[in-house]
Amino acid sequence: MQSEIRKRLIEAFTNAGDEYLSGQFLAEIAGCSRTAIWKHIEELRKEGFVFEAVKKKGYKIIQAPENVTADEISFGLKTDFIGRAIHYEEEVDSTQKIAHRLATEGAVEGTVIVAEEQLSGRGRLDRKWHSPKYSGIWMSIILRPNLPMQKAPQLTLVTAVAVVQAIEEVTGLLPQIKWPNDILISGKKVTGILTEMQADADRINAIIVGIGINVNQKQDDFPEEIQQIATSLAAESGQNMSRARLMQAVFARLERLYQTYLKEGFFPIKLLWESYALSIGKEIIARTVTGDIYGKALGITEDGVLNIQQANGEIVQVYSADIFI
When the beta carbons of 26 and 114 are compared against ligand BTN, the nearer one is: 114
When the beta carbons of 64 and 114 are compared against ligand BTN, the nearer one is: 114
Q: How far is the CB of 159 from ligand BTN (least distance, A)?
A: 11
Question: How far, in Å, CA of 212 to CA of 114, rounded?
Answer: 10
Give me the half-sphere count of Cα atoms (radius 13 Å) on the Cβ side of residue 187.
4
232 scored as a contact of ligand BTN (CB under 6 A): no
192 scored as a contact of ligand BTN (CB under 6 A): yes
Question: How far, in Å, CA of 193 to CA of 163, rounded?
Answer: 9
DSSP 8-state code for residue 304: S
Instruction: Scan residues 12-31 and list those touching ligand BTN (CB under 6 A).
Output: none
When the beta carbons of 95 and 279 are compared against ligand BTN, the nearer one is: 95
How far apart, in Å, are the Cα atoms of 296 and each of 167, 285, 311? 28, 9, 8
Instruction: Scan residues 212-231 and list those touching ligand BTN (CB under 6 A).
Output: 212
Question: How far, in Å, CA of 62 to CA of 276, rounded?
Answer: 37
C-alpha closest to that of 41 among 56, 57, 21: 21
When the beta carbons of 58 and 212 are compared against ligand BTN, the nearer one is: 212
132 scored as a contact of ligand BTN (CB under 6 A): no
| DSSP H or E stretch at residue 111 | none
Q: Which stretch binds ligand BTN (CB under 6 A): 101-109, 114-122, 265-273, 309-317?
A: 114-122
Q: Which stretch binds ligand BTN (CB under 6 A): 64-72, 144-152, 205-213, 262-270?
A: 205-213
C-alpha closest to that of 161 among 143, 147, 142, 175: 175
95 scored as a contact of ligand BTN (CB under 6 A): yes
Residue 237 identity (one-letter amino acid)? S
When the beta carbons of 64 and 247 are compared against ligand BTN, the nearer one is: 247
DSSP string, 307-323: EEE-TTS-EEEESS-EE
When the beta carbons of 112 and 297 are compared against ligand BTN, the nearer one is: 112
DSSP string, 160-176: HHHHHHHHHHHH----E
C-alpha closest to that of 112 among 133, 90, 139: 139
Q: How far is the CB of 256 from ligand BTN (least distance, A)?
A: 22
Instruction: Scan residues 249-278 and list those touching ligand BTN (CB under 6 A).
Output: none
Pairing of strands 283-288, 322-324: antiparallel
The dihedral built from the CA positions of residue 159, 164, 165 and 169, taken in this order, carries a sign that is: positive
Q: How far is the CB of 245 from ligand BTN (least distance, A)?
A: 18
The one among 58, 83, 110, 210 contacting ligand BTN by CB under 6 A: 210
DSSP 8-state code for residue 132: -
The one among 140, 165, 216, 232 contacting ligand BTN by CB under 6 A: 140
121 scored as a contact of ligand BTN (CB under 6 A): yes
Q: What angle do CA 188, 189, 194 make, to 5 degrees?
A: 165
96 scored as a contact of ligand BTN (CB under 6 A): yes
When the beta carbons of 148 and 187 are compared against ligand BTN, the nearer one is: 187
Q: How far is the CB of 224 from ligand BTN (least distance, A)?
A: 19
DSSP 8-state code for residue 230: B
Interface with ligand BTN by CB under 6 A: which residues?
94-96, 118, 121-124, 127, 129, 131, 138-140, 182, 192-194, 210-212
